Amino acid sequence: MKGDEWWIIDGWDQRLFDSWALGCVLKRCFEGHETPPTVQDFMAKLLREDASTRMSIHDALEHPWLKGEKKNEDDLFK
C-alpha cells in the first residue's frame, strides 16, 4: 500500500480492530475468574462497539492496568 497511513484500509483504521481482538482474547482468558475493576475497565474500553470511541492500542499502553498503577489492593493481580 502507498502512503504513510498504511493501516487505513477502505476508510477503516485497522489498529482499532487490533484493540477489539485484544479485548476478545482477554475476555476469554478471564472467563470464570474474578476480574479486578481495572481489568474490567481495560476490556470495556477495548470492546466498545463504536470503533470511533474504542481505545486504541497506543492508548492501551497508557492504561493503569498495563502500567501497574492501582487504586487499591483489589485492582491488580499480585
| pTM of this prediction exceeds 0.85 | no
Beta bridge partners of 12: 9
User: How do residues 41-65 score in pLDDT, each as one tens digit?
Assistant: 999 999 998 878 888 888 888 999 9
Domain boundaries, the chain: 34-69
Task: Tell me phi and psi for residue 61, to 5 degrees.
Answer: -65, -20
Residue tagged 477503516 (cell numbers): 12
Is the C-alpha dihedral spanning 1, 3, 12, 10 positive or negative? negative
At 49 the three-state DSSP class reads coil
- Tell me the per-residue pLDDT of 15-33, one tens digit each, with 9 for 90 and over: 566 788 899 999 999 999 9
